Amino acid sequence: MPKVAMFSLLLLCCAPLRAGVEDVGTTSAAFLKLGSGARPEALAEAYVGLADDASGIAYNPAGMAQNLSGELEATHAIWFQGLTYDNLNAELSTGDGGMVGATFNFLSVPQITRTEQVANTSDPSQNYVVDGSFSPYDLQAALAYARPIFRGLLGGANFKLINQSIDDRSTFGIGLDLGVLWESPLKGFTAGLAVQNMGTPIKLETEAFSLPFIARMGGAYHLLDDTVLVTVEGDLPADNSPVLSMGVEYNIANRFFPRLGWRYNSIFNPWTLGFGLQYDEWGLDLSAVPYGELGMTYRASVNWRFGKPGARLDARLAYASTAGSGKSAVLDDAMSAPDKVQAWAVYIYDSGRPARIVRTFTGSGPPAGTMQWDGRGNDSKPVPEGVYWGILTARYTTGQLVTSKYVRLEVNNSVPVVDLSIDPSSLNPRAAGEAFVPTAFHAQLRSGRGIAAWRIEILDPQGRVFRTLSGEGPAPQQVVWDGKGDQGDELISSQVYSARIWVKDALGAEGNSPAPVSFKAVFR
């Protein structure tokens, strides 16, 4: 058989659903119409409005942007007449709401005997001799990208490199898929539109054929709290009659997913069936589809989801206090794709065994970004002093639940109390209330958790700040003042001055001396 004729036969075998209409055979690379994944096949390929996994790249690349974690999927399909079809799909989050994907598809045909014509006699058995064998194949490698265009509308593209080979002949082409997916305000309903296989004609020897262009439009609706999924799709292929397909999936405990579909295209109207199993990040999907007298076809897919959307909770100020005017801990949250957050909560736990929730913050939609905890419980009463732990949890519209790491918080309701006195060596023993200049001050912590920073302010007779002395860490045993002001101005002898001290502990709680120390400055 001539090689071109054999190649044409191969194309027809790869597209049995398109047989019987006048446009069949007018396009090339018919293997591009075989789809990808056992789940879409079990749903009769009504997938353009769903496309929520790695298989969806083959039906609507925009669907990738629904996902917030990476996925790797491998599929093996057993077709009739010994044909096998393998897919490897992957998608990965870019961290900013976008997704990148890659696919590799390979169609393998059993070995075909090569014959060579050596004569042209009336006996056909004498005209050809066997000259080895060859294995035709088709393959596609593609890169895809998807991201939200604006709220509720996702867009995506899939760029393909196509290769078809038969014996010692090989040809290449490039193709492009474009798709959009609408996440409607109606909970659980999405709709999609995609145009596929736009690109360069594929030429073998002297003949060139366009890629099998197809336009897809459909929707998906999750019912009964995501227990039932219904998908519907209409296709307009350039080389065949319109196609209508629909599928149903039932969710049993998020573990078992039986599926049923039906597809109408005026030639074969096959039912489709299959099921999926899910265990944590791993999934297995199987499907079976009959093609009339050609027989049954089967697909098996294994998928692994990895990574989760990011959720982080940080403490800009890691302590709270209800003492005095009070001080609130300041918490900052950060999340990938916050526009896809359905609901969130921040829980504050105590350090008990078991830990107990003392304060809860909740909301719907994206988190607030910054929130404050005033050191009070859900009953508005101050919580006891001690160490607490905060954690952020969020549920995405995809159903994924993520949590942040714990952040350490501390409640300190005891402000430091410190006494300030004039060192005895600075006092004039002949006159009470007088102090020699230079003067030495002494600070003593009466109560609290230690001193992390301090500041002594010396006030002039009018109560204005004349000099400020400060430092980090515990106050030294003696703080010596040279009698100068902050601007270098001189002290006036025999005038009454006063001094006060302000301190901050390691948790940020602030306190000061109960009363200023007054003295009359004299010079030695």
Domain boundary (258, 291, 306) is at 306
Indicate if 299 and 321 belong to the same structural domain. Answer: no
Has residue 335 got a pLDDT over 80?
no
pLDDT at 267: 67
Work out the pLDDT band at 20, boundaries 50, 70, 90. very low
CB atoms within 10 A of CB 32: 27
Output the average pLDDT for the chain: 86
**SS3 state of residue 121:** coil
Domain boundary (306, 333, 367) is at 306
Which of 405, 361, 358, 362 minimizes the C-alpha distance to 385? Answer: 358
**SS3 state of residue 68:** coil
Q: Please, where are the H alpha helices in 94-170? A: none
Between the ranges 80-84, 223-227, 359-363, 415-419, where is the mean pLDDT highest? 359-363
Indicate if 269 and 328 belong to the same structural domain. Answer: no
CB atoms within 10 A of CB 66: 22
Instruction: Give 185-206 pLDDT, tens digit per residue.
Output: 888 899 999 999 998 888 776 6
* The total number of structural domains that make up the chain: 3
pLDDT at 137: 82
222-226, 329-333, 387-391: least confidently modelled range: 222-226
pLDDT at 447: 76
Domain boundary (349, 377, 411) is at 411
Work out the pLDDT band at 13, boundaries 50, 70, 90. very low
Indicate if 138 and 245 belong to the same structural domain. Answer: yes
pLDDT at 524: 76
pLDDT at 357: 96
Which of 3, 299, 28 minimizes the C-alpha distance to 138? Answer: 28
Which CATH number characterizes residue 141's domain?
2.40.160.60
Which CATH number characterizes residue 339's domain?
2.60.40.10
Q: Cα torsion at 471, 473, 474, 480 (round to 10°)?
A: -20
Point out which residues pair with 108 in neighbouring strands.
84, 137
Work out the pLDDT band at 454, boundaries 50, 70, 90. very high
Instruction: Give 114-163 pLDDT, tens digit per residue.
Output: 777 667 777 777 767 776 666 788 899 999 999 888 878 999 999 999 98
Q: Cα torsion at 397, 402, 406, 410 (round to 10°)?
A: 20
Between the ranges 149-158, 160-169, 393-402, 443-452, where is the mean pLDDT highest? 149-158
Indicate if 291 and 316 belong to the same structural domain. Answer: no
Indicate if 264 and 373 belong to the same structural domain. Answer: no
Has residue 441 got a pLDDT over 60?
yes
Residue 16 or 196, more confident:
196
What is the rounded average pLDDT of the residues 326-348?
A: 85
Contacts of 63 (CB under 8 A, 6+ apart): 50, 51, 52, 56, 57, 146, 154, 156, 179, 181, 192
pLDDT at 476: 87
Percent with pLDDT over 90 in the chain: 47
Indicate if 260 and 380 belong to the same structural domain. Answer: no
Indicate if 245 and 230 belong to the same structural domain. Answer: yes
Indicate if 160 and 181 belong to the same structural domain. Answer: yes
CB 184 within 8 A of CB 152: yes
In which domain, by residue range, is 324 found?
311-411
Has residue 1 got a pLDDT over 60?
no
CB 301 within 8 A of CB 289: no
Has residue 43 got a pLDDT over 70?
yes
Residue 80 or 34, more confident:
34
Indicate if 287 and 318 belong to the same structural domain. Answer: no
Indicate if 427 and 325 belong to the same structural domain. Answer: no
Indicate if 225 and 333 belong to the same structural domain. Answer: no
Indicate if 278 and 300 belong to the same structural domain. Answer: yes
Instruction: Give 68-105 pLDDT, tens digit per residue.
Output: 889 999 999 998 777 899 999 999 988 667 899 999 99
Instruction: Give 273-287 pLDDT, tens digit per residue.
Output: 999 999 988 999 999
Work out the pLDDT band at 170, boundaries 50, 70, 90. confident
- CA pair distance 521, 109, nearest whole angstrom: 105
SS (H, E, C) 173-220: EEEEEEEEEEECCCCCEEEEEEEEEEECCEEECCEEEECCCEEEEEEE
Percent with pLDDT over 70 in the chain: 90
Pairing between strand 434-437 and 517-523? parallel
